Amino acid sequence: MSDQAVLFERKTAGIAVVTLNRPNVHNAFNDVMIAQLTKCFDEIAKDKKIRVMLLQSKGKSFSAGADLKWMRAAVHHSAKKNEEDAKKLAGLFHRLDTMPMPTVVRVQGPAFAGGLGLVACCDVALGAKGVKFAVTEVKLGLIPAVISPYLAQAIGASAARQFFQTAEVFGANKAKQIGLLHEVVDITYLDSMVNEVVSSILGNAQGSNRACKKLIYEIGSQVSEEFRADTARQIASIRSTVEAQEGIGAFFERRHPQWVEGKQ
């Protein structure tokens, strides 16, 4: 299983643990990880014996978002292939957001770009002190298209306006203040906090938990299939632009992009 991008373990008492397993690239997701995660979430969603799902990552980072090497290669794909890939990514976040059982996410390290989308799609987000976050897309000439509905709902329109535009890095305490994280603890106590929350959920009626998930989704701003398709078209379109290729190229060449004046 060590060569898998995603690890899946069923534990006793109806607990499913999903682990992002690309620590050497900060758990950035490419087409392989997206497919494996989606398949894993689909399998868990169908299993009525699973009462709670825990999402976590191996290594120092939670997730850097989309793998830029994968995105850079996408410029050579056809427009149709680009859009199909983007739809799969949008589908991943929708699947996580609509899981029928409670979901808990353990954030032990930095979560950037799409990594924030994974956090925002979970019901309970627990993070370690010192963890950093950023919606970095505009630094690369991109937009946070497919994660935007989930992240904006989690942190509110006002915070989304700020962090979508500035791409500034913010810490765990700020993340809790704006609603991205629910609890922040020292890394040495993170697992204890996770166990406490999971145990609390397991002490409740399973049917009620699932009904609450459905209720919360129904009273919130549901993300329609049409809207998901539109966000996929937007990211597929913008990542093939000259500006996006300049931003991604500058990242790999360890230089400032051309739009940053005086820092070439």
pLDDT digits (tens, 9 = 90+) for 20-39: 999 999 999 999 999 999 99
- Range 71-77 contact pairs with CB under 8 angstroms and sequence separation of 24 or more: 71/239, 71/248, 72/245, 72/248, 72/249, 72/252, 74/239, 74/240, 75/239, 75/240, 75/245
Does the predicted model carry a pTM greater than 0.95?
no
Predicted pLDDT of residue 232: 79
How many Cβ atoms sit within 10 Å of the Cβ of residue 176?
15
Structure tokens at 200: 């609390």
pLDDT digits (tens, 9 = 90+) for 112-153: 999 999 999 999 999 999 999 999 999 989 999 999 999 999
3-state SS, 169-213, equals: CEEHHHHHHHCCCCEEECHHHHHHHHHHHHHHHHCCCHHHHHHHH
